[in-house]
C-alpha cells in the first residue's frame, strides 16, 4: 500500500474539511449584502486565448462553491463581455462590481453604460473610482470630487439606478484616499492588503481606521502580492498563501478578499482556504509579521510612491 507524505495527508484532510464547510459570509459595511469572504477578480478571465466555455466553467463552479462577489473593470480586455455571458440567468446571485477611470462627467456616464452593455445587466451593484491614488489618471483630486467630476457623475448614475453603490480603489499613496472617504458618499473601499505591503504602503494604519469609523466596507486586493513579474513579488508558496489570506481575513473591517483567478485549480485552492479560515493566533501573527517585514525590504514600493 502506498504511503502518503505528511504534506499530502494534511492537504487531503484540508480538502475534505473544505468540501464540508460552508463559504463564510460578511456584511459589506453599511451595504445590506452578505458577501462571500472570497471574491473573484475577473481580470485574467479576459486575457487573450481564454475560451468562453472555460470562463463559464470557472464562474459556474465559483457560484456552486458559494462565491457571490465578482470584480471586473473596462480595461481588463474581454473580462466584462465574458463575465456577462457567464452570469446570464444568474445575475441576481452575485454582487457585481466594475470601475470608471476618468474625471470627465460625460465620460464617466459613457463608461458605465458601456460596462452595463458588456455585462448584459441593467445595473452595477457597485462602481469604483479606479485607483484614485494615480496622479497620472487623476492629476487633481479636487476635480474628481468636484460638482462636475467623477464622484458627481457616479451620484447621478446612482440616482438613475445604473449603479447601486459607490466605491473607490487604491493601490498606492494611501493618504490620497482620505478626502474621498470624507465626502460621506463612499460605501466600499478596495485597497492593497497583504502581510508584506502592510510594511510598505500601510493601508491598515493609514486608511482602515477611517473606514471602520464610517462603516465603509473594505475589499482586500493584491492579497497574493504581484505583479507576477517584478522582483518576484508574488506570494506563491503554501506557507505564504496561508499567511497572507489568514492575515487579510483577520483584519477588522475586511469583508472580502479578491483573488484574480486564472484556472479552476486556483479557484479550488482559494475556496478551500476560505472555507477553512481560522484567525491567526498571537504567536502566528508575530511570525507572519516578521516574515512580512523581511519580504517588504526585498520588494520595496513596487506599485509606485507611498506618499
DSSP track, the chain = -PPPPHHHHHHHHHHHHHHHSPPPEEEETTEEEEEESEEEE-GGGGSTT--HHHHHHHHHHHHHTT--EEE--TTSTTHHHHHHHHTTTTGGGSEEEEEE--S-HHHHHHHHHHHHHHHT-S-BSEEEETTTT-TTTSS-HHHHTSTTSHHHHHHHHHHTTSBS-EEEEESS-GGGGHHHHTTS---EEEEE--TTGGGTT-HHHHTHHHHHHHT-EEEEE-TTB--SSSTT-B--SHHHHHHHHHHHHTSTTEEEEEEE--SHHHHHHHHHHHHT--PPPHHHHHHHHHHHHHHHHHH-STTS---
Per-residue pLDDT of the chain (307 residues; tens, 9 = 90+): 334 444 444 445 455 666 679 999 999 999 999 999 999 999 999 999 999 999 999 999 999 999 999 999 999 999 999 999 999 999 999 999 999 999 888 999 999 999 999 999 999 999 999 999 999 999 999 999 999 999 999 999 999 999 999 999 999 999 999 999 999 999 999 999 999 999 999 999 999 999 999 999 999 999 999 875 455 789 989 999 999 999 999 999 999 999 999 999 999 999 999 999 999 999 999 999 999 999 999 999 999 999 9
CATH superfamily of 36-299: NADP-dependent oxidoreductase domain (3.20.20.100)
Amino acid at each position: 500500500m502506498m504511503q502518503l507524505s505528511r504534506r499530502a495527508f494534511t492537504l487531503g484532510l484540508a480538502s475534505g474539511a473544505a468540501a464540508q464547510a460552508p463559504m463564510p459570509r460578511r456584511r459589506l459595511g453599511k451595504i445590506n449584502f452578505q458577501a462571500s469572504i472570497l471574491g473573484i477578480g475577473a481580470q485574467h478571465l479576459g486575457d487573450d486565448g481564454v475560451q468562453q466555455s472555460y470562463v463559464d466553467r470557472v464562474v459556474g463552479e465559483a457560484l456552486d462553491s458559494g462565491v457571490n462577489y465578482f470584480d471586473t473593470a473596462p480595461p481588463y480586455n474581454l473580462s466584462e463581455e465574458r463575465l456577462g455571458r457567464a452570469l446570464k440567468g444568474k445575475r441576481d446571485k452575485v454582487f457585481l462590481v466594475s470601475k470608471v477611470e476618468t474625471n470627465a462627467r460625460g465620460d464617466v456616464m459613457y463608461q458605465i453604460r458601456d460596462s452595463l452593455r458588456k455585462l448584459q445587466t441593467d445595473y452595477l451593484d457597485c462602481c469604483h473610482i479606479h485607483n484614485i491614488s494615480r496622479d497620472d489618471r487623476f492629476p487633481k483630486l479636487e476635480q474628481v470630487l468636484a460638482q462636475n467630476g467623477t464622484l458627481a457623475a457616479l451620484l447621478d448614475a446612482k440616482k438613475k439606478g445604473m449603479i447601486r453603490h459607490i466605491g473607490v480603489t487604491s493601490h498606492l499613496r494611501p493618504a490620497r484616499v482620505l478626502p474621498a472617504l470624507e465626502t460621506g458618499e463612499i460605501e466600499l473601499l478596495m485597497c492593497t492588503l497583504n502581510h508584506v505591503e502592510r510594511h510598505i504602503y500601510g493601508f491598515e494604519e493609514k486608511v482602515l481606521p477611517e473606514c471602520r469609523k464610517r462603516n465603509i466596507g473594505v475589499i482586500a486586493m493584491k492579497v497574493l502580492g504581484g505583479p507576477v513579474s517584478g522582483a518576484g513579488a508574488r506570494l506563491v508558496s503554501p506557507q505564504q498563501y496561508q499567511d497572507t489570506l489568514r492575515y487579510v481575513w483577520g483584519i477588522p473591517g475586511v469583508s472580502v478578499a479578491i483573488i484574480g483567478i486564472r484556472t479552476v485549480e486556483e479557484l479550488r485552492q482559494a475556496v478551500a482556504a476560505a472555507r477553512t479560515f481560522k484567525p491567526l493566533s498571537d504567536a502566528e501573527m508575530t511570525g507572519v509579521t516578521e516574515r512580512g517585514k523581511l519580504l517588504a525590504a526585498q520588494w520595496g514600493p513596487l506599485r509606485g510612491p507611498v506618499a
